[in-house]
Amino acid sequence: MDETLDDYLYEVINKYEREGDWRLGQTYFNVLTEFNPRLAEQVRGSALDPFYQDIRIVEFLAFVGENWRESK
Q: What was the pLDDT predicted at 71?
A: 76
Find, among 34, 9, 46, the residue nearest to 24 by Cα: 9
Find, among 7, 11, 41, 45, the residue nearest to 28 by Cα: 11
Residue 72 has pLDDT above 70, yes or no: no
pLDDT in tens, 6-34: 999 999 999 999 988 999 999 999 999 99
Mean pLDDT of the chain: 95
Does this model's pTM top 0.85?
Answer: yes
54: DSSP letter: G
